[in-house]
Amino acid sequence: MSGNIPLLDAALARTRTEDRAALVGYLPAGFPDVEGGIDAICAMVEGGCDVVEVGLPHSDPVLDGPVIQTADDIALRGGLRIRDVVRTVGEVYGRTGAPVLCMTYWNPVDRYGVERFAEDLAAVGGAGCILPDLPVEESGVWRAAAEKHGLATVFVVAPSSRDERLAKITAAGSGFVYAASLMGVTGTRVSVGAQAADLVARTRATTGLPVCVGLGVSNAAQAAEVAAFADGVIVGSAFVLRVLDAGADRAAGLAAVRALAGELAAGVRRA
């Protein structure tokens, strides 16, 4: 099976024809364990997520806030391996039919083998990769492997990115552009900030790719605020918190994740 970038493109095109932003949900693989993570990500789709991101937990997640760091630590202490991450992508795609991307730091991919990782991800129906710490100048080997296997390469842009830099990044990417709405690490925020709208406008001036905004959205009102100017709203920490708050009660965690997805989906449609 080749990768599913056409499915990702179709999902984002569909939301555009519906005159709304896409809802993109994130959860690390292996959290609270492999099976529980698969169930939770599927619940996100059932609740209303159009696209999902499966995180590859890292021992030094420098760009992630304390909530996702906690989830990553739980997954790694549970013995998570890259094969479990790939399996999670495949199981979620198989059960939901939604586009599933892997979000990962570059080091695990490099150690696993670039060609091997792309091939394995594509074989289970993965749609692509988000690589927040891979400089575009050093991405040629990955992009060649991704293109060969039909995977999108999503790069991250930030408010600090100058216009010339934005153009260079967006020219190399595919699928969509991940706009980090605030400087700093991930996590829920009281406000998503005015920087996000400016970043989206500057990014759109350089590319025809959809621009999805992440880092900070945690409720329907914020989702509606971002959906008014972005092509997609990315939510991660808020979903992780629902699972953490449920503790050992798996049914309650799944219900909370499904409910949050429903609230956020209503928010993006209200924009």
Over residues 54-91, the pLDDT tens digits come to 999 987 655 667 888 899 999 999 999 999 999 999 99
Q: What is the pLDDT of residue 192?
A: 52
Q: How confident is the model at residue 182 (pLDDT cuts 50, 70, 90)?
A: low
Query: Which one of 39, 64, 91, 120 is the catalytic residue?
Result: 64
pTM, full prediction:
0.93
Position 43 pLDDT exceeds 70:
yes
Q: Which pLDDT score is estimated for 185?
A: 39
Interval 30-46 mean pLDDT: 97
Q: What does the DSSP assignment read for the chain? A: ----HHHHHHHHHHHHHTTSPEEEEEEETTSS-HHHHHHHHHHHHHHT-SEEEEE---SS-TTS-HHHHHHHHHHHHTT--HHHHHHHHHHHHHHH---EEEE--HHHHHHH-HHHHHHHHHHTT--EEE-TT--GGG-HHHHHHHHHTT-EEE-EE-TT--HHHHHHHHHH--S-EEEE-SSSS----S---THHHHHHHHHHTT-SS-EEEESS--SHHHHHHHHTT-SEEEE-HHHHHHHHHHTT-HHHHHHHHHHHHHHHHHHHHH-
Residue 125 has pLDDT above 70, yes or no: yes
Comparing 195 with 26, which gets the higher pLDDT?
26
For residue 53, indicate whether it is catalytic: yes
pLDDT of amino acid 188: 47
What's the pLDDT at 1? 54
Give Cα 61 to chain centroid, integer Å.
Answer: 15
Instruction: Please say if 39 is a catalytic residue.
Output: no
Q: What is the pLDDT of residue 183?
A: 40
Q: Which of the following is catalytic: 50, 53, 91, 231?
A: 53
Q: What is the pLDDT of residue 186?
A: 43
Is 97's pLDDT higher than 60?
yes
pLDDT confidence band for 271 (50 / 70 / 90): confident
pLDDT band at 187 (very low <50, low <70, confident <90, very high): very low
For residue 259, name the pLDDT band (cuts at 50, 70, 90): very high
Q: Which pLDDT band holds residue 40 (cuts at 50, 70, 90)?
A: very high
Mean confidence (pLDDT) of the chain: 92
**Mean pLDDT, rounded, for 91-112:** 97
Q: What is the pLDDT of residues 195-217, one digit of tens each?
A: 889 999 999 999 999 999 987 88
Please determine, for residue 184, whether its predicted confidence score (pLDDT) is greater than 50: no
pLDDT score recorded for residue 63: 63
The residue with greater pLDDT, 58 or 124, is 124
